[in-house]
Amino acid sequence: MPASDGRTRLLVLWDIDHTLIETRGVGFTLYKRAFEAATGQELRQLAKIEGRTELDITVQSLRLNGIEPTDEVISTVTTELAHAYDEHRGELASTGRALPGAKETLAGLAGRRGFYQSVLTGNLRVVARVKLEVFGLDKFVDLEAGAYGEDSHDRAELVHIAQRRAQARADERFPNDRTVLVGDTINDVRAAREAGVGVVGVATGKASEAELRDAGATAVFACLTEVEAHLLALTPGADELSR
C-alpha cells in the first residue's frame, strides 16, 4: 500500500551480482557445468558478463563456442543453470558472500514507510531467488515485482517491466522520478539513464567511482554503507519507521 501520508514511495531496484553479493567464482563454475550438461561440449570461452542479461550471455557464449543459439538450446542451458544453483546452495553459501552493508541497507529501507524494494538483474528469476535466499536478503525485497534476465535482452526495458510489476503488486504508481536503480556496472547506469530513472552507482564491481560517474550515475559511492542515507534524503519523511 502507499505511504499513509499519501506521498509516493521510492521504488528502489537493486542489481544483485557485485552490488549485493559476490559468488566468488561459484557462478562461473555453475555456468560451466550447466553449459556442458546442456550442449555436451566444453565451455571454451564465456561471453563478457558485466551488466548483461543471462539470455544475452548465453546467446553470445554459444556463438563463441561454435553452437547455433536456437531457442531449444538456450532453453536447455538456462534450465540446467537454474537446477545447478538450486542444487548447489551450500557451495554458494560457503564460498560466496553478501557484500558489506548489503543486509543492513536492505533491512534499513525495508523498515521505512517511504520505500518499495525489488530487484533488476540479468540473472534468471530462479537464480536471483536462490542467490538472495542463500544470503538472507530475499525477505527485504519483493521478488515478484522485479525484472530478470529472461524478461528481455534490453536492460533498459527491464526497468519499465519492473515498474509495471511493482505498480500491479503495490497498487501504486512508481513514475520515473520515484524510481532509482542501484548497480555496479556501466550498463546499469546506461539502462537507468535510457529508461529515464535515477541511478546510484556503487564501485563494488569492476567499474571505478570515476567510471560510474562519467557514465552518468546520479550519485556514486564506494560501498553500500552510504547508500541508505542518500536514498533517505531523496524521500522526505521516509525516515519514519513502518508501523
The domain boundary, picked from 51, 79, 94, lies at 94
Judgement on whether residues 139 and 152 belong to the same structural domain of the protein: yes
Give just the sign of the alpha carbon dihedral 33, 205, 125, 64. Answer: negative
Judgement on whether residues 209 and 222 belong to the same structural domain of the protein: yes
Judgement on whether residues 138 and 221 belong to the same structural domain of the protein: yes
Judgement on whether residues 152 and 200 belong to the same structural domain of the protein: yes
220 found inside a domain: yes
Judgement on whether residues 113 and 90 belong to the same structural domain of the protein: no
Judgement on whether residues 189 and 213 belong to the same structural domain of the protein: yes
Chain position carrying cell 550438461 = 37
The predicted-structure confidence for 74-110, as pLDDT tens digits, reads as follows 999 999 999 999 999 999 999 999 999 999 999 999 9
Judgement on whether residues 143 and 114 belong to the same structural domain of the protein: yes
Judgement on whether residues 72 and 118 belong to the same structural domain of the protein: no
The predicted-structure confidence for 129-177, as pLDDT tens digits, reads as follows 999 999 999 999 999 999 999 999 899 999 999 999 999 999 999 999 9
- Looking up residue 224, the CATH number of its domain turns out to be 3.40.50.1000
Per the prediction, the chain carries an average pLDDT of 93
Q: In sequence order, which residues have a C-beta less than 8 Å from that of residue 16 and are 6 or more positions away?
A: 119, 121, 123, 128, 131, 132
Average pLDDT over residues 215-229: 96
4 found inside a domain: no
- Angle at CA 35, nearest 5°, toward 30 and 40? 130
Confidence of residue 7 (pLDDT cuts 50, 70, 90): low
Judgement on whether residues 114 and 159 belong to the same structural domain of the protein: yes
Judgement on whether residues 16 and 42 belong to the same structural domain of the protein: no
User: Could you please report the per-residue DSSP string of 108-140?
Assistant: HHHTBTTEEEEEB-SS-HHHHHHHHHHTT-GGG
**Residue range(s) defining the domain that contains residue 224:** 10-22+98-233
Judgement on whether residues 138 and 179 belong to the same structural domain of the protein: yes
Count of the separate structural domains present in the chain:
2
242 found inside a domain: no
Q: Is the pLDDT of residue 2 over 50?
A: no
The domain boundary, picked from 55, 78, 94, lies at 94
Give just the sign of the alpha carbon dihedral 195, 197, 202, 207. Answer: positive
Instruction: Tell me the HSE value of 160 on the side-chain side, using a 13 A CA sphere.
Output: 9
170 — phi, psi (to 5°)?
A: -95, -10
User: What is the DSSP secondary structure assignment for residue 176, as one 8-state letter?
Assistant: G
The domain boundary, picked from 78, 94, 110, lies at 94
Q: What is the pLDDT of residue 153?
A: 86
